[in-house]
């Protein structure tokens, strides 16, 4: 079975802190994705990566950056956390068609 893991299930940070969310997949997938999920808005794509060191902006990249130094790991970085970044963050990797999701990180910024 494909496994996508995220470093934390719950995270509480203060405004202005730098936040790292880590995602690891074990299926040698090339494509990896970061989404945020908010009630009534579904999943919105923040960034995706189709290869090591490659990245593409999604719909809402502002306030975020990403890093893909190794194929299995895709990190989301909040350079200076703000309260409007309180959300559920979901990482995914893609096989041929379907995407496989991690369990999510619920981030609260106070």
Partner 1 sequence: AQSVAQPEDQVNVAEGNPLTVKCTYSVSGNPYLFWYVQYPNRGLQFLLKYITGDNLVKGSYGFEAEFNKSQTSFHLKKPSALVSDSALYFCAVILYNNNDMRFGAGTRLTVKP
| Site track for partner 1 across 67-106, x = CB under 8 A | -----------------------x-x-x--xxxxxxxx-x
64 counts as binding partner 1 under rule CB under 8 A? no
Q: Cα–Cα distance between 90 and 92 in angstroms, integer?
A: 7
60 counts as binding partner 1 under rule CB under 8 A? no
HSE (side-chain half, CA atoms, 13 Å) at 51:
1
Pairing mode, strands 19-25 and 31-38:
unpaired
Tell me which residue has tokens 């919105």: 44
25 counts as binding partner 1 under rule CB under 8 A? no
Tell me which residue has tokens 């996508």: 4
Binding site for partner 1 (CB under 8 A): 4, 9, 31, 33, 35, 40-43, 45, 48, 50, 56, 58, 90, 92, 94, 97-104, 106
């Amino acid at each position: 079975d494909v496994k996508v893991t995220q470093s934390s299930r719950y995270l509480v940070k203060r405004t202005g802190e730098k936040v790292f969310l880590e995602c690891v997949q074990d299926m040698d997938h090339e494509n990896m994705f970061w989404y945020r999920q908010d009630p009534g808005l579904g999943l919105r794509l923040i960034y995706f990566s189709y290869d090591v060191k490659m990245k593409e902006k999604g719909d809402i990249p502002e306030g975020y950056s990403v890093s893909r130094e190794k194929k299995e790991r895709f990190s989301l970085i909040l350079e200076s956390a703000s309260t409007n970044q309180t959300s559920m963050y979901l990482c995914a990797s893609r096989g041929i068609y379907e995407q496989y999701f991690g369990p999510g990180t619920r981030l609260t910024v106070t």
